[in-house]
Amino acid sequence: MSNMQQIIAKAQKFKEKMSAAQKELETKEVTGTSGGGAVTVVMTLRGEVKSVVFDKEIINPDEKDILEDLMVAALRDAKQKADKMYDDGMKTATGGFNIPGLP
């Protein structure tokens, strides 16, 4: 097998490994919270919100603005966790190499 064929074979294996890592990471979820657990958000590592749960004790129509702020904070918390977990997973898959065009 020539050097070029070996390089192409390695590149193909790397591509397959990257694809498998991305698929696996896309199935993982993170949970973000705010207000000491009053609001909980579950989202995928790609940012798709799966669920939002409010503690029944915080639902008060007179405090709608507080609930909205807690919601934003919980989403932000979940998104930051998702981004970090996805980035860490991709670093593991690439062996720490910084490859242009890949997250």
State pLDDT tens for residues 20-59.
Answer: 888 887 888 989 888 899 889 898 888 888 888 888 888 8
Q: Are 53 and 88 in contact (CB under 8 A)?
A: no
Query: What are the structural domains of the chain?
Result: 18-93 (3.30.1310.10)
Indicate whether 98 pLDDT > 70.
no
Indicate whether 9 pLDDT > 60.
yes
User: What is the rounded distance in angstroms from the CA atom of residue 10 to the CA atom of residue 24?
Assistant: 21
pLDDT for position 103: 54
State pLDDT tens for residues 54-86.
Answer: 888 888 888 888 888 888 888 889 889 988 988
Confidence of residue 100 (pLDDT cuts 50, 70, 90): low
Element (H, E) at 31: strand 29-34
- Which pTM value belongs to this model? 0.60
- State the sign of the Cα–Cα–Cα–Cα dihedral 5, 11, 12, 17: positive
User: What is the rounded distance in angstroms from the CA atom of residue 83 to the CA atom of residue 32?
Assistant: 12
Token pair listed for 39: 């609001």
Radius of gyration of the chain (CA): 20
